[in-house]
Chains A and B, each alone.
Chain A
Amino acid sequence: MEEWRFIDFSLVDIRDMMAMDEAILKSDEGNTFFFWTPKKSIILGFFQKAQVELNISQCEGYTITRRISGGGIAFSDDRCRQINYGVVGTIDNELFPMDIIESYKQICGVLIDTLIHYNLNAAFRPINDVVVDNKKISGNAQTRWEGKLLQNGTLLLDFDIEEMLRISNIPKEKFMDKKIASIREGLTWLDRELGEQHDMEEIKNVMKKKFEERFSIRLKTGSLSEKEIKLTNSLLPKYYSHVWVYR
């Protein structure tokens, strides 16, 4: 059986993680699946302006950076109960479809299979969400580079909606076509759905297994190559820079 690399970066500074994320996409170490949990932070989508999307005066204590993929803010409070994942794969029109929405659907299938394992009514909501009973539990973002894709996403285990509303500047238009009155009705998280806290490592193991099943491969724990570490180091200044974050 084919083996793909697996890395668990655990609890990370999001600027370091975004540099490693880009380095994995732009190196050539083969298909890779990885996890991390962000420290208290906000990640802006590629096309978002901090001054427009955030209440910057309320963001003290948050590390803010930007990622190379589009989509919306990824917010993590200091409870740190979020599983974030990354997938780097060669677009082969089979495991990783050329069609953008199909490729989201394929990778989001790992999250859906995981949630179904916990007896939840999970589904894909195009373009890039996973929902439980029509409430968003996972946001995902993809970019592509030289025949490969990088998809990042989050599975919320716990989430503080009020805190997110405090630090962000989300207009009501955002929710108007989702048949929900407000963000409060449109989001959910695993602890709430299950009525209890499951161990994060246990959930990650389920996700890993579902990933292996979906792609018919075996995940082998590895680490960044020397080339990836070098590239990461050269990318770090960008993710720490004011120019990149507040452009």
Chain B
Amino acid sequence: MEIKTPQGIHKSKGGLIRSFVTIEKGMIKEISISGDFFLFPEEAFFKIVEELKGIKAKREDVEQKIKEIYTRENIQSPGTTPFDFAESIMKALEG
């Protein structure tokens, strides 16, 4: 069964992160993130959103995946960290 979460809002030093997640069998099925943060290179953001699909809806798994993408894609996001994205997503998951 699919569950669509309410908005998860987290404010990092670099901006607001607003997450919406759909979960199925404990896994992230759909995810969308909106916010006024900065992230370079910008296109790498889509990889984060895409690669979180299919990940276990648990903080460690989510944060680990994002960290991995940060390293691989050489992401810089002043004032915003993988922890902040995970925090916003967890707030969505926890309602």
A interface with B by C-beta (< 8 Å): 45-49, 52-53, 68-73, 100-101, 126-128, 141-144, 171, 173-174, 176-177
8 closest residue pairs by CB, A with B: A72-B36, A49-B34, A70-B38, A52-B34, A173-B9, A100-B78, A173-B11, A127-B78
Q: Is the CB of B42 within 8 A of A70?
A: yes
Question: In whole Å, how far is A89's beta carbon from the nearest beta carbon of chain B?
Answer: 16
What B residues does A73 contact at CB under 8 A? 36
Q: What residues of chain A lie closer than 8 Å to B16, measured between beta carbons?
A: 72, 171, 173-174
The residue in A52, A68, A70 that gathers the most chain B C-beta atoms within 10 A of its C-beta is A70
Return the chain A residue nearest B33 by Cβ.
A47
Q: Which residues of A contact B39 (CB under 8 A)?
A: 47, 70
Chain B residues with Cβ below 8 Å from A69 are 38, 42
Per-residue A-contact encoding for B6-43, CB less than 8 Å = 1, 0 else:
01011101111010100000000000111111111110
Is B45 at the interface (CB under 8 A from chain A)? yes
Given contacts A47-B39, A47-B45, A71-B15, contact A100 B34 (CB under 8 A): no
Q: For residue A243, give the distance in angstroms from its CB to the closest CB of chain B.
A: 14
The answer to the question of B54 belonging to the interface, with a C-beta cut-off of 8 Å to chain A, is no
Decide: A53 and B34 in contact? CB cutoff 8 A.
yes
Q: Does B76 contact A (CB under 8 A)?
A: yes
Nearest-neighbour CB distance to chain A for B82, whole angstroms, equals 15
Q: Which B residues lie within 8 Å of A70 (CB)? A: 15, 36-39, 42
Distance in angstroms between the alpha carbons of A47 and B35 in the assembled complex? 6
CB contacts (< 8 Å) of A48 on chain B: these are 34-36
A-B residue pairs in contact (CB < 8 Å), sample of 17: A45-B36, A47-B37, A47-B42, A47-B45, A52-B7, A52-B20, A68-B42, A69-B38, A70-B42, A71-B15, A127-B79, A142-B38, A143-B40, A144-B40, A173-B16, A174-B16, A177-B13
Determine whether the beta carbon of A71 is less than 8 Å from that of B38.
yes
| B35 nearest CB across to chain A (Å) | 5
6 further interface pairs, Cβ-Cβ under 8 Å (given A48-B35, A127-B13, A143-B42): A52-B34, A72-B36, A73-B36, A126-B79, A144-B40, A171-B16
By a CB distance below 8 angstroms, the chain B residues around A49 are 32, 34
Give residues of chain B (25-67) contacting chain A, Cβ–Cβ below 8 Å.
Answer: 32-42, 45
B34 & A127 in contact (Cβ 8 Å cutoff): no
What is the bound-complex CA distance between A176 and B41, given in angstroms? 28
Residues of the B chain whose Cβ atoms lie less than 8 Å from the Cβ of A171: 9, 16, 18
Contact between A47 and B9 (Cβ–Cβ < 8 Å)?
A: no
Complex Cα gap A171–B8 (Å): 11
Given contacts A47-B45, A49-B32, contact A127 B11 (CB under 8 A): no
Residues of A within 8 A of B45 (CB): 46-47
B residues less than 8 Å from A53 (CB atoms): 34, 36
Contacts of A71 in B (CB 8 A): 15, 36-38
- Which of A52, A68, A72, A101 has the most chain B CB atoms closer than 10 A to its own CB? A52
